[in-house]
Amino acid sequence: MKTICLYFEIHQITHLKRYRFFDIGTDHYYYDDYNNEQTMGRIVEQSYMPALTTLLDMCREHKGAFKVAFSLSGVGMEQLEMNAPQVLDVLAQLNETGCVEFLAEPYSHGLASLINEKCFEEDVKMQSAKIAEYFGKKPAVFRNSSLIYNDAIGEQVSKMGFKGVLTEGAKQVLGWKSPHYVYSCAYAPKLKLLMRDINLSDDISLRFNDSSWDGYPLFADKYIERIAALPEEEQVVNIFMELSSIGMAQPLSSNILDFLRALPVCAKNAGVSFSTPTEICQKFKSMGTIDVPEAVSWNDEERDTSSLLGNPLQQEAFNKLYSIADRVLIAKDPRISQDWAYLQATNNFSFMTTKYSGIGIDRGIYSSPFDAFTNYMNILGDFISRVNSLYPDDIDNEQLNSLLTTIRNQGDEIAMKDTEIERLQIKLQKAESQLATAKGKGAKKVETKATTKAATK
């Protein structure tokens, strides 16, 4: 029986403000709060709330026959907490239906997986903990920022304990193979790979409202018929997209919500089910390993990282940012850590792209890639100065880590001694109280004897 794995990404960048060279060293707040609030308000109204409410109705109506997965970046969740908590409320209601799975991803929606293993691991752990805090369960399946994946990333993700990974069904990886099977990581065969069906996914997220497309208009029954008509042995169909494509890229006036509502009924009639990523990893065996030596992603037609790191501007910003990754992790300064998460987001690098992707790029406040690069590097310059100011520059990372470990151990030892002192003080107070009670009883006994003796006389 064929099954559909439907997945939506929810991520919102924390927009950077205009930051001049002369602000370096004097202004340590980098964010455009007004832009963040306005952008979030627009997306919530036009996309997130209508789409999630529809999906919630579908889960309740079909009682386990319809299932869906979500991945939320940590920085995106922070934006929702500040500007749209109602979205998190609906997601909690979706979670209560038992028909939803929440996936792991980097908290920052960043690119650490391509350069720094420790930073990547900490990023994923932090997001997984936040998902568990909100929804009561740690994720079992992982998806990277922009579905970035290669063999080395798969190996590290497997070591973190995840059962599976969502990634792009790129032609340079699959070759003649179909994305409609479960595969496994070349470096960690126990890790399942779920490959995105590019055509079926983009038919909804990119082409649904395109009247010049030869598949227009797209109806739910015809869409499901295409899935049901796949060869019998091709049983897994992975349809992955951004949630914002519902309502933003494809406006609600296109009747895309009606299309979504009709999918479960049409699927049931065609003998097609819905499954979560974890269910697929449990039910289906791997058809073999897939070699992915170079990173793939779901970005643009080439399905690689060139739209994020393909030009000298992006590479300079990327290398400069992650040159201080170890010091940021060692420092464990809350304000530094928060800024670090926001500065890593992939959107900061996509604003700098000079590559034509066939899809319009909204650069926000920036007039060009060079404008985006200049603004980002000014902020990064201030941020790096703040990181370096925490500890002397002449101490390398290894020495700094050793020094801070010693300090933390001493702090732990002091805390243990303080606890012991507190325990002994309590014990002393009890002993003094018991002694005072005993003295009181003794004095009372003496007084009673004296009174008795006087009465006898």
What is the structure's pLDDT at 426?
81
Helix (H) or strand (E) holding 357: none
Contact 169/147 with Cβ under 8 angstroms? no
Helix (H) or strand (E) holding 27: none
Whole-prediction pTM: 0.85
How much is the average pLDDT of 92-99?
A: 97
What is the structure's pLDDT at 240?
97
Contact 239/197 with Cβ under 8 angstroms? yes
Contact 254/50 with Cβ under 8 angstroms? no
What is the structure's pLDDT at 410?
60
How much is the average pLDDT of 143-170?
A: 97
pLDDT band of residue 148 (cuts 50, 70, 90) is: very high
What is the structure's pLDDT at 433?
78
How much is the average pLDDT of 200-224?
A: 97
Residues 6+ apart with CB under 8 A from 65: 264, 268, 273, 274
379 exposure class (CB count in 10 Å sphere: 0-12, 13-18, 19+):
buried
DSSP 47: I
How many beta carbons lie within 10 A of that of residue 194, not counting itself? Answer: 25
DSSP 351: T
How much is the average pLDDT of 251-276?
A: 98
pLDDT band of residue 417 (cuts 50, 70, 90) is: confident
pLDDT band of residue 394 (cuts 50, 70, 90) is: low
Express each pLDDT in 323-381 by its tens digit.
999 999 988 899 999 999 999 999 999 999 998 765 567 788 899 999 999 999 999 99
DSSP string covering 223-282: HHHHHHTS-TT--EEEEEEEGGGBTTTB-GGGTHHHHHHHHHHHHHHTT-EE--HHHHHH
Contact 90/53 with Cβ under 8 angstroms? yes
pLDDT band of residue 399 (cuts 50, 70, 90) is: low
Question: Would the pLDDT of 194 be above 90?
Answer: yes
* DSSP bridge pairs for 195: 167
Peptide bond before residue 217 is cis, with ω within 30 degrees of 0: yes
- Amino acid making up residue 412: D
Tell me which residue of 122, 119, 131 sits closest to 77, measured CA to CA: 131
- Amino acid making up residue 335: R
DSSP 188: -
What is the structure's pLDDT at 229?
97
Distance CA 336, CA 363 (A): 26
The length of the chain in residues reads 457
Distance CA 10, CA 18 (A): 26
Express each pLDDT in 311-323 by its tens digit.
999 999 999 999 9
How much is the average pLDDT of 287-296?
A: 96
How many beta carbons lie within 10 A of that of residue 446, not counting itself? Answer: 10
How much is the average pLDDT of 279-288?
A: 96
Express each pLDDT in 52-76 by its tens digit.
999 999 999 999 999 999 999 999 9
DSSP 358: S
How many beta carbons lie within 10 A of that of residue 394, not counting itself? Answer: 6
Sign of the C-alpha dihedral, residues 29, 31, 34, 36? negative
User: CA of 418: how far to CAs of 190, 408, 426, 429, in Å?
Assistant: 47, 15, 12, 16
What is the structure's pLDDT at 395?
64
Express each pLDDT in 23-59 by its tens digit.
999 999 999 999 999 999 999 999 999 999 999 999 9
Question: Would the pLDDT of 428 be above 60?
Answer: yes
Mean pLDDT, the chain, rounded, equals 91
Question: Would the pLDDT of 415 be above 80?
Answer: no
Tell me which residue of 135, 75, 133, 80 sits closest to 106, measured CA to CA: 75
Contact 206/254 with Cβ under 8 angstroms? no
